[in-house]
Amino acid sequence: MRRREDRDITKHTLNLYAGDYAKLQALYPPRIGAAKIIRDVIHAHIRKIEEDAQQRIPLISDLDVELEVPSERTQ
């Protein structure tokens, strides 16, 4: 019996390297399934990229910078 996902999923065609899908099926129990493993790996990868990006890019409000705005525009 398959468990329902805790979030919505959409169907996509994904080209994998020859043999990789079969290897995933062999590495994980049949009750989990290779498709679930692929979803989880991709989701974890996206979360990691987003977390790393948040740490690298500070918000303007976090910077200790005083901006000077000129009163007149010079050309």
d(CA 36, CA 33): 6
Cβ–Cβ under 8 Å, residues 15 and 2: no
Q: Which residues of the chain are modeled with pLDDT < 70? A: 1-5, 57-59, 62, 65, 67, 73-75
What is the structure's pLDDT at 2?
55
Residue identified by tokens 């991709």 is: 42
**Where are the alpha helices (H) located in the chain, listed in sequence order?**
20-27, 34-56
Query: How many C-beta atoms surround the C-beta of residue 25 within 10 A?
Result: 15
d(CA 61, CA 63): 6
